[in-house]
Structure 1
Amino acid sequence: MTNLHFKLSTLAISLAVAGLCTGVVAAEAPNVQVAKTQEPKKAKEYIEQIVVTGTASGKSMKKVDASYAITTIDAESIERLAPKSTADLFKAVPGVWAESSGGVSGANVFVRGFPGGGDAPFLTVQLQGVPVYQPSTLSFLENSSLFRIDETVQFMDALRGGPSSVVSAGQPGLTTNFILKEGSDATEGRFKYSTSDYGLQRVDAVVSGSLAEDLYFMAGGYAQESSGIRDAGFNSEKGQQFTVNITKVLDNGKLNLFTRVTDDHGAWYLPTPLVAGVDNSYTQVGPLNRQATIEFGPNGESKAIDIGDGRGWKGAISGGSLDLDFDGGWSLVDRFAYTSGDANTLGLVPNGSPVALSTVADNGVSAIGAVSQKTYGGDTLVQQLGRWAVLKNIEALTNDLAMTKKSDSYQATLGLYRSDYSVKDWWSIGNQAYYLVQAGGEALTGIDCNDNKDSCDWNYDISAVGDGKTSAFYGAFEYTFSDQWSADIGLRNENHQIDYTVDEGLDGVINKSVDYDQTDLSWTAGINWQFSDNAGVFLRASEGSKMPSFDDFRDNYDAYTKGENLIKDVTQYELGYKLALDNLNLYATGFFNEVKGDTFVRKPGDPAEVLTNEAYGLELDAAYFNDSGFSINMNGTLQSTEITESPINKGNEAQRQPKWQIRLTPSYDFEVAGLDSTLYGTLSAVGDRYGNNENTVVLDGYEKLDIGLIVRTDGGLKFELGMQNVTDEDALTEGDPRSADAANGRYIMPRTTTFNVSYDF
């Protein structure tokens, strides 16, 4: 597959240079034009945005006509939200709880009360309508880690539930679809420089235009580095990305080719000790401990690692689409993508609570710094940290073909989805040693655990390889009864095959082998009543599944060998209301869901807890505008969760998900000294959560305030100053997921100030 990716990437770039094509999405997204001034949106224009996600045909439609819950966030809104990672943007989506406190990669994302202990098992990230990787989550890898936001993004759709169990990858939870900017007849672009109070140096650039008649291009990317939002004492966040998007407008449609090459990583922020002197600016990794030598395997082999590399993505996603219309109401949309690269994880992972040095020192009195040679007394706090190394190589080739027949009263679609994917894993996790509890604290000598590997707690070393094939045949039918009433139904028959082998212990012996072949049926049905030009109601039911992937078999190998299929069954019901007035729009969606067969494993080797979860709640997505330049956006979620089946936690609430959350984003456009200006902010408030399924660890609710100011000149210059977490709130997003009893937690990001200047031409 590597040769194929090289050919696809080379083809896309060559076409751009040669002037044979330029980028477009399969759906009919409007051409992007970088405006020299930003006019306030009217509410009705906002709600009538084009959405391209959730349609079986692959064609675009107006958001106001959609009979499912979907949120669209455009490039201007993304810029104001100033997400520090891709998952950070998902906080603006109702029904979603995103923990983006781990850094640029490695978020935890929860959807509508669905169960989960970490990562993002019910999230699929798409680029140009194609999943970046078929499995939504592998251990130490979730979809958002494979995507970086930059100036080449035009907008993002976020689809919750609804028809998602039938279309694309069949994700029953959340599907986020990032659409790239595309060219037009006018040559235009943007150059942008960004800096911050944590040493950020970043340059973004994007340019688009016409190469020939009906032939367009967009190209752009970024290069950046910093010591990290939590200062590591070295450039712990650095990387670059380059994207080319090419579009050829045909007589009866469009052809699109794109490639996106990324090499970007950042320090992996982990739960920190909850003791005096440690706050939300603390990070374990630093110059005194970033380099380490780990031992692994039965013969004590060693490997030097740089923990400062943290988590990241070094790879490429290339693909495209063909969108054709034929006589008689027929159309064809084919979307495809190839993903390959490395998504490695290296970090210092806490193993238990901090303790006094005297309790672990060989002499019971003191120990010596491994680097500084300084002697530390017995009352010094130390903590056992694991030097974890997870090396992961992935590949995926995905194609989604849909043929549609449309008439005045109905639309019928038949589709064929196929994804072939693989993973190669090498892990050495454990490798415990005691370190000082201070930012970048060094390891110590004179402690048996540090000087003798075999005396420490545990190590889990594996080499694993896996191949998967997901094939699905889907169909959808929509019928319009009148101007007010329409209904639709969809079916998906999915076959899922996994071949997977694991060498636990790195001793050359395969002790887990999987040959899995299972088929499952999903469906969705909806009714839409547009009872006036400004308002409507929809009702939807769906049943989908999350098919098991590689790590599900490793963690639940005994269940697999006993014949259990490990499929997570998801049933959902939605009732939605939509309103569009001249200065107000509102989406309100009530939901109920049940997830059967979820498994939770705290750490490798622990027994799995098999769960059934139920949740119900209300999602709100609203915006208000007036002629004076004031606007305010609001999204909120109110939900109740319950573990209805569990051997030990029946009746408890789902872990790590708040009962309520709300985000208010006001904005005011005004003129000062002849310059167009915008003052904006975001106030986020979150309720209490439980840190574990046992509901014994309470994570307190919190409020967070972000503010910003934009000033524009007539010449295309724009200046933006922003401050995130103005009050420096030090709330926790999670406790210690590997030990509920350990006094550790992961903080939200500390206060930061950013500044950028851009030039649009």
Structure 2
Amino acid sequence: MKPLFLKQVLASAIAAALSQSVVAQEDAPQDTPAKATSENTEVIVVSGTPGGTGIRKIDASFAVTNIDASDIEKLAPKSTADLFKAIPGVWVESSGGESGANVFVRGFPGGGDAPFLTISLEGSPIYPASTLSFLENSQLFRIDETIETVEGLRGGPNPVVSNGQPGLTTNFRLKRGSDTTEGLAKYTVSDYGLNRVDVMASGALADDLYYMVGGYIKSSEGIRDAGFRSEEGNQFTFNITKEFDNGQLNLYTRQTDDHGTWYLPTPLNVEGIDANYTQIGPLNRQATITYGPQNTTESFDFGNGRGWDGHVSGGSLKLDLGAGWQLVDRFNLTKGQANTYGLVPNGAATTLAQVADNNMSAMGAVTGEQYAGDTPVQQIGRWVVQKDIEAFTNDLAVSKAWDAFDTSLGLYTATTKAEDWWSLGNQAYYVLTPGGEKLEGIACNDSPEGCGFSYDIDSVGDASTTAFYATTKWYATADLDFDLGVRHETHEVSYSVDEGLDGQITKAVNYDQSKVSWTAGANYSLNDFSGVFVRMNQGYKMPYFDDFRDNFGAYTDGNDLIKKVTQGELGYKYMNESIQFFATAFANEVEGDTFVRLPGVPAEILTNEAYGVELDAKYQHDSGFSLNLNGTFQETEITASATNEGNEAQRQPGWQVRLTPSYAFDVNGMYASVYGTVSAVDDRFGNNENTVVLEGYEKVDVGVIFEPVDSLKLQLSVDNLTDEQGITEGDPRSPDAPNGRYIMPRSMKLSVAYLFY
């Protein structure tokens, strides 16, 4: 998309929004109360507020999207990251399975994972390091029937509050109990062998003491059939709330053991290899790797894929201290294992005759079958990443409200730990069929060193963060307010690594740096139903363990590894009984970003600029018809790089649009709803060199919900109705190889739920 066209789109969107507000002002009654009473305008968001004290969405001077449980039900996300596609300004590659997604925000640079994403539960970050190698936040979180809503805050006050994430913070809020006992039991099946049972119940344990309990158990062969039960998991959540005369105490724990196949790029130029292909299968899921100076061998089940076995536990204490004083303390402990076992392609596909010892044929290591020279083959690495993590965060905020001012002081502390054991490489040639077997009669296949790249480490890292922050809001008039926030953060890292698994520490770091972040905004109410806001902020993404390992010795000052993010926003918002419309123009610069093609290989350091507009709209009609619009239009440019200056940021589309119509109606007293989503995505470049083009695509999802009686609900959802063969990424490890990762093929799910009240 050309810059001039984007500016025209932006100008048109803002002009249309402002003209709409003028009409609303002219039509509004002159005796309208100071604050609107529309149900829509009473939506409360807690993200971006000190201690999560909350603010009406129509009054917020920042861009935040809220998705409630009914929206999640219709979106039917295949993973946590898949849900984030409903947030404007966010580009998600969720084609790697339930874990291992890539999430990009507002044109910020990145080569994978989710470096500018924080996932919070009840306002607390579940893991302060948004991305480590082979770990991004969405891997640690599963969506189920215990979720009430999720908020997605881009930019805004993010750099100042909580963990200071300058990009996207998503905050999940759990359902809570009340004086009414209610719940559900749901059974889900699919055309890929899914069997899943969800349960949830909530109610009162005693006066002012409430509970919510729920979870799931599931098993399937995977959307890309692995030939065995490759996706298995369970989760249990308990949430308890005690109400006091002057506040409340909330405690929760979320125990998860869930893993599934890590889907990886596949050859795009081999007949028969399509979106249904996956490397893993019964002929290769059990494999032996070789590591260390003594060529130690060990066998693993690569069918375990990628997942999370651990818990996220915490709570909050909210107290009204009187005289306008409030205290909020939120805390969280996350601990467990986030392991990865994957069959990772290395380079382009070839034919067996090109690599066989006899230049003619080779034999299958499992079946003994003799494969001819024209058989497609590819190097596949057996990668093992074992990762034990732990993090504890606490966010204490004290606030005071005066007639014209609100002021808050906060203290955020976090400790983060990761212990890693890797063996990467272990490449060998495999037959290019789903779950194809390893071959014998190829020299490097039979060598302990394997074929090509290898990198093994044993490491341990500890990080601690202490941040003081302060915010203030001045209500200049009944319609105009200004806010200001500042944060002083000290970040310390201790990290050591044994590269080669020979017992010798090869790199060790002790790091201590401080930075000051800030945000400033203004909000003006045009009338009771609309307003405009403007905001500037500057924040930082502090380095963690992998940043030091990949750049060790390259810089004399660890300050060079801090990513500095400067952002500006201009927004318009309109909310009444039937319409929610938000248009946000943004511009940002990210300095000091690092891109690592392979672990252990020095990073590319670059500066990236982006600007664009986000559209977030919802229309509801009394007839039962509703329409959601989610659009992002953006331009990116690498403005500083040793080799790629002037190019676009990799893997980010110039535009993306999602349109979701829905129609609810009654059939002889029985409720029904039909809905769908049409998504369209622009072309992207697969690398910073801009030599690999990933073509845009369109995708259609549909569904129907039917409630024959009040206590029974049936839902059928079809993902990728037309079986579109879209590509989300190339091969980040071998960008010139004709490999890519397809979006998920067509799949169908049917669920039956029993609800009780």
TM-score by length of 1: 0.94
Q: Secondary structure at the match of 1:64?
A: helix
- 8 Å CA contact 1:43, 1:584 repeated in 2: no
Among candidates 525, 535, 541, match of residue 546 of structure 1: 541
Question: Quick one: distance in 2 between partners of 1:107 and 1:583?
Answer: 34
Q: How do 1:299-378 residues align onto structure 2 when only pairs under 5 Å count?
A: 299-378=294-373
Match of 1:31 in 2: none
Q: Does 1:177 align with 2:171?
A: yes
Among candidates 145, 157, 171, match of residue 139 of structure 2: 145
Q: Secondary structure at the match of 1:98?
A: strand
* Unaligned ranges ≥5, structure 2: 1-35
Match of 1:133 in 2: 127
Question: Quick one: distance in 2 between partners of 1:74 and 1:752?
Answer: 24
Match of 1:257 in 2: 251
Q: Aligned-pair distance for 1:44?
A: 4.8
Among candidates 558, 568, 573, match of residue 568 of structure 2: 573
Q: Secondary structure at the match of 1:553?
A: helix
The Cα offsets for residues 602-622 of structure 1, whole Å up to 9 and x where unpaired, read as 112333211000000000000
Match of 1:110 in 2: 104
Among candidates 573, 595, 598, match of residue 600 of structure 1: 595
Question: Quick one: distance in 1 between partners of 2:588 and 2:675?
Answer: 36
The Cα offsets for residues 661-686 of structure 1, whole Å up to 9 and x where unpaired, read as 00001000111232110000010000
Question: Quick one: distance in 2 between partners of 1:601 and 1:513?
Answer: 19
- 8 Å CA contact 2:51, 2:330 repeated in 1: no
Q: Does 1:94 align with 2:88?
A: yes
Q: Which moved more, 1:52-61 or 1:442-451?
A: 52-61
Q: Aligned-pair distance for 1:75?
A: 0.4
Question: Quick one: distance in 2 between partners of 1:522 and 1:619?
Answer: 24
Among candidates 485, 498, 502, match of residue 497 of structure 2: 502
Match of 1:4 in 2: none
Question: Quick one: distance in 2 between partners of 1:582 and 1:174?
Answer: 28
Q: Aligned-pair distance for 1:739?
A: 1.0
- 8 Å CA contact 2:560, 2:592 repeated in 1: no
Question: Quick one: distance in 2 between partners of 1:136 and 1:605?
Answer: 20
The Cα offsets for residues 515-571 of structure 1, whole Å up to 9 and x where unpaired, read as 000000000000000021111000000000000000000111122446553100000
Among candidates 410, 419, 435, match of residue 414 of structure 2: 419
Amino acid at match of 1:498: V
Q: Secondary structure at the match of 2:81?
A: helix
Q: Aligned-pair distance for 1:60?
A: 1.6
Q: Aligned-pair distance for 1:115?
A: 0.3
- 8 Å CA contact 1:43, 1:625 repeated in 2: no
User: RMSD of the TM alignment (CA)?
Assistant: 1.1
Match of 2:18 in 1: none
Amino acid at match of 1:461: D
Question: Quick one: distance in 2 between partners of 1:706 and 1:47?
Answer: 30
Q: Secondary structure at the match of 1:531?
A: strand
Q: Secondary structure at the match of 1:713?
A: strand
Match of 1:472 in 2: 467
- 8 Å CA contact 1:43, 1:623 repeated in 2: no
Q: Does 1:235 align with 2:242?
A: no
Q: Does 1:666 align with 2:665?
A: no
Q: Aligned-pair distance for 1:304?
A: 1.0
Question: Quick one: distance in 1 between partners of 2:298 and 2:329?
Answer: 45
Among candidates 61, 68, 71, match of residue 74 of structure 1: 68
The Cα offsets for residues 65-122 of structure 1, whole Å up to 9 and x where unpaired, read as 1100000000010011000000000000000001000001010000000000000000
Match of 1:407 in 2: 402
Match of 2:609 in 1: 614
Q: Aligned-pair distance for 1:455?
A: 5.3
- 8 Å CA contact 2:426, 2:449 repeated in 1: no
Amino acid at match of 1:50: I
Question: Quick one: distance in 1 between partners of 2:557 and 2:633?
Answer: 39
Q: How do 1:478-497 residues align onto structure 2 when only pairs under 5 Å count?
A: 478-497=473-492
Amino acid at match of 1:407: W
Q: Aligned-pair distance for 1:264?
A: 0.1
Q: Secondary structure at the match of 1:162?
A: coil
Q: How do 1:211-222 residues align onto structure 2 when only pairs under 5 Å count?
A: 211-222=205-216
Q: Does 1:281 align with 2:304?
A: no
* Unaligned ranges ≥5, structure 1: 1-41
The Cα offsets for residues 244-282 of structure 1, whole Å up to 9 and x where unpaired, read as 000000110000111000000000000001121111111
- 8 Å CA contact 2:225, 2:278 repeated in 1: yes
The Cα offsets for residues 314-360 of structure 1, whole Å up to 9 and x where unpaired, read as 00011111000011100000000111000000100000001110111
Amino acid at match of 2:125: P
- 8 Å CA contact 1:242, 1:261 repeated in 2: yes
- 8 Å CA contact 1:472, 1:493 repeated in 2: yes
Among candidates 54, 76, 81, match of residue 60 of structure 1: 54
Q: Aligned-pair distance for 1:52?
A: 1.2
Amino acid at match of 2:112: G
Match of 2:633 in 1: 638
Q: Aligned-pair distance for 1:514?
A: 0.4
- 8 Å CA contact 2:103, 2:113 repeated in 1: yes
Question: Quick one: distance in 2 between partners of 1:669 and 1:353?
Answer: 49
Match of 2:25 in 1: none
CA 1:688–1:407: 2 relative to 1, 3 Å: same
- 8 Å CA contact 1:555, 1:605 repeated in 2: yes
Q: Aligned-pair distance for 1:408?
A: 2.3
Q: Aligned-pair distance for 1:48?
A: 3.3
Match of 1:687 in 2: 682
Q: Secondary structure at the match of 1:346?
A: strand
Match of 2:203 in 1: 209
- 8 Å CA contact 2:624, 2:665 repeated in 1: yes
- 8 Å CA contact 2:58, 2:529 repeated in 1: no
CA 1:328–1:650: 2 relative to 1, 3 Å: same
Q: Aligned-pair distance for 1:129?
A: 0.5
Amino acid at match of 1:539: V
The Cα offsets for residues 109-164 of structure 1, whole Å up to 9 and x where unpaired, read as 00000000000000000011000001000000000100000000000000000000
CA 1:47–1:447: 2 relative to 1, 3 Å: farther
Question: Quick one: distance in 2 between partners of 1:739 and 1:44?
Answer: 54
Match of 1:744 in 2: 739
Amino acid at match of 1:644: T
Question: Quick one: distance in 2 between partners of 1:561 and 1:450?
Answer: 41
Amino acid at match of 1:392: K
Match of 1:6 in 2: none
Q: Secondary structure at the match of 1:557?
A: coil
Q: Aligned-pair distance for 1:481?
A: 1.1
- 8 Å CA contact 2:153, 2:170 repeated in 1: yes
- 8 Å CA contact 2:316, 2:330 repeated in 1: yes
Q: Secondary structure at the match of 2:647?
A: coil
CA 1:43–1:553: 2 relative to 1, 3 Å: farther
Match of 1:530 in 2: 525
- 8 Å CA contact 2:425, 2:454 repeated in 1: yes
- 8 Å CA contact 1:44, 1:583 repeated in 2: no
Match of 1:702 in 2: 697
Question: Quick one: distance in 2 between partners of 1:643 and 1:43?
Answer: 46
Q: Does 1:722 align with 2:740?
A: no
Question: Quick one: distance in 2 between partners of 1:377 and 1:626?
Answer: 63
CA 1:455–1:635: 2 relative to 1, 3 Å: closer
Question: Quick one: distance in 2 between partners of 1:503 and 1:456?
Answer: 23
Match of 2:751 in 1: 756
Among candidates 717, 727, 730, match of residue 735 of structure 1: 730
CA 1:577–1:320: 2 relative to 1, 3 Å: same
Question: Quick one: distance in 1 between partners of 2:309 and 2:213?
Answer: 19
Q: Aligned-pair distance for 1:461?
A: 0.4
- 8 Å CA contact 2:491, 2:542 repeated in 1: yes
